Amino acid sequence: MSEQQQRRDGKFGDYGGQYVPEALMPAIEELTDAYERYVLGNEDGFMDEFRRRIRDFGGRPTPMGRADQLSERYGTEVYLKREDLLHGGAHKLNNALGQCLLAKYMGKERIVAETGAGQHGTATAMAAAHLDMPCEIYMGRRDINRQRPNVFRMRINGAEVTPVEVGRGTLKEAINETMRDWATTVETTHYIIGSIVGPHPFPSMVRDFHRPISAETKRQSREAFGRLPDAVVACAGGGSNTMGIFSEFVDPRDSDPEGVDDVDLYAVEAGGSTLDVDEERGVAPNSASLSTGTEGVLHGARTKVLQDTDGQIMESHSVSSGLDYAGVGPELANLVEEGRVDAVNVDDDAALAAFHRLSQTEGIIPALETAHAVAYLEQHDDPSELGEYVVINVSGRGDKDLAAAMEETAGRDLPNAPEMDVFDGEGLR
Amino acid sequence: MSEQQQRRDGKFGDYGGQYVPEALMPAIEELTDAYERYVLGNEDGFMDEFRRRIRDFGGRPTPMGRADQLSERYGTEVYLKREDLLHGGAHKLNNALGQCLLAKYMGKERIVAETGAGQHGTATAMAAAHLDMPCEIYMGRRDINRQRPNVFRMRINGAEVTPVEVGRGTLKEAINETMRDWATTVETTHYIIGSIVGPHPFPSMVRDFHRPISAETKRQSREAFGRLPDAVVACAGGGSNTMGIFSEFVDPRDSDPEGVDDVDLYAVEAGGSTLDVDEERGVAPNSASLSTGTEGVLHGARTKVLQDTDGQIMESHSVSSGLDYAGVGPELANLVEEGRVDAVNVDDDAALAAFHRLSQTEGIIPALETAHAVAYLEQHDDPSELGEYVVINVSGRGDKDLAAAMEETAGRDLPNAPEMDVFDGEGLR
Amino acid sequence: MSGGTGESRIPAAFESEPAFVPYLAAGDPTFEASLAYVEALERAGADVIELGLPFSEPIAEGPTIQQAVVRSLDGGMTVERYFEFVAALDVDVPLVCMTYYNLIYQYGDEEGPEPFVERAAAEGIDGFVVPDLPAEEAGPLRAACDAHGRDLVSIVAPTTRDDRLQRLVDLSSGYLYVQARLGVTGARASVSDRTTESLARVAETGTDLPRAVGFGISSFEQARDVIAAGADGAIVGSALVDIVAEGHAEDRPPEETAAELEALGRELKEGALAAAEPEASQAD
Amino acid sequence: MSGGTGESRIPAAFESEPAFVPYLAAGDPTFEASLAYVEALERAGADVIELGLPFSEPIAEGPTIQQAVVRSLDGGMTVERYFEFVAALDVDVPLVCMTYYNLIYQYGDEEGPEPFVERAAAEGIDGFVVPDLPAEEAGPLRAACDAHGRDLVSIVAPTTRDDRLQRLVDLSSGYLYVQARLGVTGARASVSDRTTESLARVAETGTDLPRAVGFGISSFEQARDVIAAGADGAIVGSALVDIVAEGHAEDRPPEETAAELEALGRELKEGALAAAEPEASQAD
Ligand SMILES: Cc1ncc(COP(=O)(O)O)c(C=O)c1O
Ligand SMILES: Cc1ncc(COP(=O)(O)O)c(C=O)c1O
């Protein structure tokens, strides 16, 4: 399928598409048009402004540096691409800023977004404040009460945070509620989706806003070791940091496409506590939709989904809330199907151990999501087989995860967990 | 006084010097020698390695971007130098990484540092982990229990955190305790001081590790608006971010010294609740040592100090724990005395309002320290008098301050404070 | 129940008089009670019944129907039980299955809508409304409906522009679901101007498909007003589901809830009919 | 008290026999009690008394003395009260004021050490030990001491290299405070090898200044050992302050604490003397 076609109908092989209520279709068409004109066509210098702002406000390019201790441990040169240094502490801002700016170019007056753990919500709140746009974030009640610092941040940035009281009060209820808001306000409002999921043009557009990760990685690899890496490893929830760092290796648009096909790409999913599924209760104790999901339609796109045999979406689980999602981006699903990307997974314990390992040996506290990517090297029988140069995408920092990581660590038997007895009695939060 | 002399005896006019126990003097001499050889002389390529690591690990250069909303509000072009994007979330890493690396070059085997709110401690813990050095951080018991997330971070990075139980259990007790450790272990251990304070060579050395802030600001100003700014504004506690962004304007070492004398420099101190002092109780309800302090000897250097008429050091106060210090760097004290730097101050209320203003209008949640610098523009009768181009040093991000800022905000009548009623009943922490 | 594998009975339902088209989620809150509720609506004069097959991610529903979906799923509703429910219903009106595409797509061994449509047709479903399936993706389902003589009802939104409108009209059979206003399902107080506008735009396409208006209709007056505005039918969901929800919350006997549903149903049907009588609409 | 503005009495104190040099923080925990404690130490045989003037940032002190400083400051100690304290003391031994430079520097109207030294001399202080004042910064204080006939005692650390050592020797008068080991003040169990080494290095400079060893001496044996190692005096601080702290914590009558201080003081003085008698040091 030619790229041009891909742009038009948003299909990636059998995946993708636009499964949304008719009321939203005109907005989706308008957005598709805006995506093609502004993002792909740089109309009115949109991409120039985006690049300027993501540099001056966001902090691009983010650095890529050698992990001295990990390189020694694994007998291969390990480099870290530092999206944790982007403003807000994760890759998320690339997309939030891009879409917020696009909404402005489209003449929209208001932003809505869903958030689970709060990462996408905080990035959106920052971008909206930066561009002087009113913004409302939907967040499940349970998540609000679990993720107070992120709610603080959104409120402090001036965003409305609207609790979603129905159901379990987590991400999927928030997505449903945001869709509802959008279906009501679509004429004046833009919905900023938080990953490469949802109906076309979201998966392509979100990927393109994250594309600089990949372009920089190529350039920085050539600067650091004179060639492209042998392998690139990224965690995958929805898959935006993943496609962000993969895209120029999969579909090069920069001036330097040579050799990209030789780069192995690994998408590391959350294996949770086990890959087994409780069909009876409709619960997957993992979020490994690429590894264990089946084809289905979720949140506007056909993709790999954790679902029961009827097609009801299952509750997913992961120690990392940002990976805790029952679907995955359609483009990534297709790349796995085509064999271009390897879908692998690591469990909660391995991710927590990697969280502590990277913190202790490299001085970088990663997000628990990122810790999954780091853990993959440890899980590998012989990481040197990955090649001579391996780049890990450090998608975010772990400050948001401190309390969760400590609580989860306390309940497990991890050899490298720090003791916390410096505190006076009180609990960990 | 020539620069060479300044380097040798560490005097800045009447300020500076080396007021330390004899047991430490040999270490101070050794350090002075190392500073001159490695930092000033780039022996063994020390500075090359420092520059590489602060780039790849730290994320330098940090961006400088226009603050659109503030520029409009103040009728002058306001630019933000983004040290909040440095790894760890503040300028602190420049120094922590530099000293940790220096300790390595000097053959030291262990790092100690004091910390108050935990910013310098977390930066040191990160740098030590990155360079594979054991590290011990002294922190007052009261601070430990107030700053749990930062203690988490240090422990997660593998640092020992040793509670200091004596006295009020805050920064000054921690400094005393770290000095004691160093006095005992000086042969194998390096003490990383957290600001441009302490005995020579610390003030000069810490400044030099922060010097890139200033060099980048010059270059980025020329890129963004074709010339140097008219004014540079930075908050001042000890004064390390301050001298970091001032140094190339005061004593240019880069290739481009022209015009630096025309740049006005503002050091914004914490005015606390009032500039008045309670001599009776030995308490200053502010930390404005440049504005209201007198010459004295504190923590190894002669400088401006908050003290009673006997010379006993007063308890300082500020809503921002990183500014809450009774002294200030001797170089800064001298520059104020010479009239090269203007010492100004803003009170707690103004700083909190600026915290919310920058968050809401620019999408950047600043550290409460930084908020003082931002507040100065609001305090000014006519900010456009500051000149056409004003650069503010955003010394750090506010994630560490969320709980404190919300608590302090709740107790005041700030017009721009966000409501927090989205939470279910419970308290703010 | 009657129906079965013949042709869809929907077109006939709109022929004689303005239609009353109620919606309920099958199995809300229990299989048995829900059967009684649907049957009560037939007694009230329903001309077509939209029968929700609950999906775990009901992105087009407001909170009222979302909660109905949760109750039904909690009550053990599955696709298989849904078909058993349809089979067990003792009503003689056309039935429209309202659900989300993933459940249709997953049914049967190979992926695609055909097995679901075949089975539904066999159990007595006459047509389908699939809120997350726009015209662009509806080809395979349309084909399956054609193969099994079923109708595919499309939703026309207030935001639907003319090019899309023509496409929807071309795609649809049975009737057009004209969405009265932006937003999601849920009872509202008044009928919006956009309804009139939408109906007019549909009329301009020259289609002879019946137009049923839904989203927010909850009273005699609203049913009357939408028919007066040119609709051929009034679709009512949340107002009825509210009664089920209240009965469940208050633990009322199902017969009582059924009676309430029947009463509101009658009122709505009368509203629809009232508009058709010249006096009534003039009196307005 | 006696003393006054004549010459320092310190040199004479080391002339006849090994000296016992106790330290207490003036005013710990109260003015009155502290007077009694210092006097008890004189009775015990103190040859020189180091009298701490508390400073809010005692960076060279261990926790024991740091707490003494806190108690004294909490008890209302100020520079003025300190001089009153010295004046009120009824002892006849040389007194050394041990404090930090900022208090010396701030005293009087213009900044600089002279007014403080003048006043201290007038009240009966014979010399000064200033732990945070290295040779590099000591010029002005040395000059003031010379002007008023007072001694300036320097601390020699185990880390002090030979070039610095010579400088310290040249700077000092009264005696040299030889720091027994690295670290800060505080009682320890044994005497380190480094003490012996330091004493030897000081001897090599050819100075005839007396050498008093401090840091960690708390018992008869330790006092004896440091003298045996070549010291001219044993400085004891934390071990005595511990007694004051305990008395304070347990709320004992001051006389009781004074008696305990006197008892330990005697033991320490005897330890120092024991080393001077050949039999005792051989018996070791
Ligand atoms: C730091 C970080 N990494 C990864 C993810 C997963 O999202 P995605 O797979 O879209 O990159 C998240 C989501 O919140 C995140 O915060
Ligand atoms: C963000 C930030 N800014 C400023 C300061 C004040 O330190 P200095 O005056 O040395 O820059 C601190 C100290 O913790 C800080 O964390």
**C-alpha B274 – ligand 2 centre gap (Å):** 21
**C-alpha B201 – ligand 2 centre gap (Å):** 19
According to the model, what pLDDT value does residue A424 have?
58
Instruction: Please tell me if residue C73 touches chain A, with a CB cutoff of 8 Å.
Output: yes
According to the model, what pLDDT value does residue B146 have?
79
Q: To probe the interface with C, which of A5, A19, A22 has the most C CB atoms within 10 Å?
A: A22
Measured by CA distance, the residue closest to atom 15 of ligand 2 is B322
Q: To probe the interface with B, which of A50, A60, A85 has the most B CB atoms within 10 Å?
A: A85
Inform me whether the pLDDT recorded for C89 exceeds 90: yes
According to the model, what pLDDT value does residue A283 have?
87
According to the model, what pLDDT value does residue D186 have?
64
- Ligand 2 pocket member B240 (CB < 6 A): yes
According to the model, what pLDDT value does residue C108 have?
87
Of all atoms in ligand 1, which is nearest to the CA of residue A321? 14
CATH number of A3-57+91-205: 3.40.50.1100
According to the model, what pLDDT value does residue C278 have?
57
Ligand 2 pocket mutation, candidates B83, B207, B214, B241, criterion most atoms within 8 A of CB: B241
Could you read off the pLDDT of A67-100 as tens digits, one per residue? 999 999 999 999 999 999 999 999 999 999 999 9
Give the C-alpha separation, A140 to A270, whole Å.
21
Does the distance separating the beta carbons of A166 and C67 come in below 8 Å? yes
Give the C-alpha separation, B375 to B70, whole Å.
11
Inform me whether the pLDDT recorded for A247 exceeds 70: yes
**C-alpha B117 – ligand 2 centre gap (Å):** 10
Could you read off the pLDDT of A283-315 as tens digits, one per residue? 889 999 999 999 999 999 999 999 999 999 999
Does the distance separating the beta carbons of C155 and A22 come in below 8 Å? yes
The alpha-carbon gap from D62 to the nearest alpha carbon of chain B, in Å, equals 7
Does the distance separating the beta carbons of A309 and C154 come in below 8 Å? no
Instruction: Please tell me if residue A197 touches chain C, with a CB cutoff of 8 Å.
Output: no
According to the model, what pLDDT value does residue A1 have?
36
According to the model, what pLDDT value does residue C187 have?
58
Instruction: Please tell me if residue C67 touches chain A, with a CB cutoff of 8 Å.
Output: yes
Inform me whether the pLDDT recorded for C280 exceeds 70: no
Of all atoms in ligand 1, which is nearest to the CA of residue A90? 1
Positions of D annotated as catalytic residues are 50, 61
D79: nearest CB among B17, B180, B310: B310
According to the model, what pLDDT value does residue B168 have?
79
Could you read off the pLDDT of A178-206 as tens digits, one per residue? 988 998 898 899 999 999 999 999 999 99
Instruction: Please tell me if residue C134 touches chain A, with a CB cutoff of 8 Å.
Output: yes
Could you read off the pLDDT of B252-277 as tens digits, one per residue? 998 788 999 999 999 999 999 999 98
Task: Please state whether at least 3 CB pairs lie below 8 Å between chains D and C.
Answer: no
Q: What is the 3-state secondary structure (H, E, C) of chain A?
A: CCHHHHHHHCEECCEECCCCCHHHHHHHHHHHHHHHHHHHCCHHHHHHHHHHHHHHCCCCCCCEEECHHHHHHHCCEEEEEEHHHCCCCECHHHHHHHHHHHHHHCCCCEEEEEECCCHHHHHHHHHHHHCCCCEEEEEEHHHHHHCHHHHHHHHHCCCEEEEECCCCCCHHHHHHHHHHHHHHHCCCEEECCCCCCCCCCHHHHHHHHHCHHHHHHHHHHHHHHCCCCCEEEEECCCCHHHHHHHHHHHCCCCCCCCCHHHCEEEEEEECCCCCCCECCCCECCCCCHHHHCEEEEECCEEEEECECCCCCECECCCCCHHHCCCCCCHHHHHHHHCCCEEEEEECHHHHHHHHHHHHHHHCCCECHHHHHHHHHHHHCCCHHHHCCEEEEEECEECHHHHHHHHHHHHCCCCCCCCCCCCCCCCCCC
- Ligand 1 pocket member A370 (CB < 6 A): yes
According to the model, what pLDDT value does residue D187 have?
58
Inform me whether the pLDDT recorded for C143 exceeds 90: yes
According to the model, what pLDDT value does residue B423 have?
65
Of all atoms in ligand 2, which is nearest to the CA of residue B321? 14
Does the distance separating the beta carbons of C102 and A298 come in below 8 Å? yes
D161 contacts in chain B (CB < 8 Å): 26
**What stretches of B125-242 adopt beta strand conformation (E)?**
135-140, 160-164, 189-191, 231-235
Residue of D nearest to B313 (CA): D56
Which has more pLDDT, C261 or A417?
C261
Q: Which ligand is nearest to the CA of B373?
A: 2
Q: To probe the interface with D, which of B141, B312, B325 has the most D CB atoms within 10 Å?
A: B312
- Rounded to two decimals, the pTM is 0.94
What is the value of ipTM here, to two decimals?
A: 0.93
Inform me whether the pLDDT recorded for D4 exceeds 70: no
Of all atoms in ligand 1, which is nearest to the CA of residue A236? 9
Residues B384-412 have a mean pLDDT of 94
Could you read off the pLDDT of A356-396 as tens digits, one per residue? 999 999 999 999 999 999 999 999 999 999 999 999 999 99
Which has more pLDDT, C176 or B184?
C176
According to the model, what pLDDT value does residue B143 have?
87
Residues B340-356 have a mean pLDDT of 97
> D touches which chains (3+ CB pairs under 8 A)?
B
A423 contacts in chain B (CB < 8 Å): 144-145, 148, 151
Could you read off the pLDDT of B52-74 as tens digits, one per residue? 999 999 999 999 999 999 999 99
Return the CATH number of A64-89+211-410, one of 3.30.420.40, 3.40.50.460, 3.30.56.10, 3.40.50.1100. 3.40.50.1100
Does the distance separating the beta carbons of C155 and A297 come in below 8 Å? no
Give the C-alpha separation, B120 to B100, whole Å.
12
Return the CATH number of C10-152+217-225+232-277, one of 3.40.50.2000, 3.40.50.1820, 3.40.50.1370, 3.20.20.70. 3.20.20.70
A160 DSSP β-pair partners: A136
According to the model, what pLDDT value does residue B1 have?
36
Inform me whether the pLDDT recorded for D152 exceeds 70: yes
Residue of B nearest to D158 (CA): B23
B398 contacts in chain A (CB < 8 Å): 156
Provide the mean pLDDT of chain C.
91
Contact D158, D179 (CB under 8 A): yes
Q: Which ligand is nearest to the CA of B91?
A: 2
pLDDT band at C70 (very low <50, low <70, confident <90, very high): very high
Ligand 2 pocket mutation, candidates B83, B84, B86, B91, criterion most atoms within 8 A of CB: B91
B395 annotated active-site? yes
According to the model, what pLDDT value does residue A4 have?
39
Percent over 70 (pLDDT), chain A? 97
The alpha-carbon gap from B355 to the nearest alpha carbon of chain A, in Å, equals 9
Does the distance separating the beta carbons of D133 and B179 come in below 8 Å? no
According to the model, what pLDDT value does residue D185 have?
63
Does the distance separating the beta carbons of B179 and D59 come in below 8 Å? yes
Could you read off the pLDDT of A35-58 as tens digits, one per residue? 999 999 999 999 999 999 999 999
Inform me whether the pLDDT recorded for D263 exceeds 80: yes
Inform me whether the pLDDT recorded for A233 exceeds 80: yes
Give the C-alpha separation, D183 to D197, whole Å.
16
Give the C-alpha separation, C234 to A366, whole Å.
55
Inform me whether the pLDDT recorded for B183 exceeds 80: yes
Domain ranges of chain B: 3-57+91-205, 64-89+211-410
Which has more pLDDT, D196 or D211?
D211
> B touches which chains (3+ CB pairs under 8 A)?
A, D
Measured by CA distance, the residue closest to atom 1 of ligand 2 is B396
Q: Which ligand is nearest to the CA of B318?
A: 2
Give the C-alpha separation, B130 to A68, whole Å.
8
According to the model, what pLDDT value does residue D105 have?
95
C183 contacts in chain A (CB < 8 Å): 23, 180, 183-184
Inform me whether the pLDDT recorded for D193 exceeds 80: no
The alpha-carbon gap from C157 to the nearest alpha carbon of chain A, in Å, equals 5
Could you read off the pLDDT of B140-165 as tens digits, one per residue? 998 888 788 899 999 999 999 999 98
Q: Which ligand is nearest to the CA of A237?
A: 1
Domains B3-57+91-205 and B64-89+211-410 share a fold: yes
Could you read off the pLDDT of D30-81 as tens digits, one per residue? 999 999 999 999 999 999 999 999 999 998 888 899 999 999 999 999 999 9
The DSSP bridge pattern shows strands C151-156 and C127-129 to be parallel
Inform me whether the pLDDT recorded for C1 exceeds 80: no
Determine the length of chain B.
429
The alpha-carbon gap from D283 to the nearest alpha carbon of chain B, in Å, equals 33
A81 annotated active-site? no
Provide the mean pLDDT of chain A.
93
Provide the mean pLDDT of chain B.
93
- Ligand 1 pocket member A238 (CB < 6 A): yes
According to the model, what pLDDT value does residue C188 have?
60
Domain ranges of chain C: 10-152+217-225+232-277
Of C133-137, C218-222, D3-7, the one with minimum mean pLDDT is D3-7
Percent over 90 (pLDDT), chain A? 80
According to the model, what pLDDT value does residue C62 have?
84
The DSSP bridge pattern shows strands B135-140 and B341-346 to be unpaired
Does the distance separating the beta carbons of D156 and B310 come in below 8 Å? no
Residues C1-16 have a mean pLDDT of 77
pLDDT band at B224 (very low <50, low <70, confident <90, very high): very high
pLDDT band at A2 (very low <50, low <70, confident <90, very high): very low
Which residues have C-beta within 8 Å of that of residue D283, sequence separation ≥ 6?
none
According to the model, what pLDDT value does residue A166 have?
81
In the block, tokens 């009876």 appear at A280
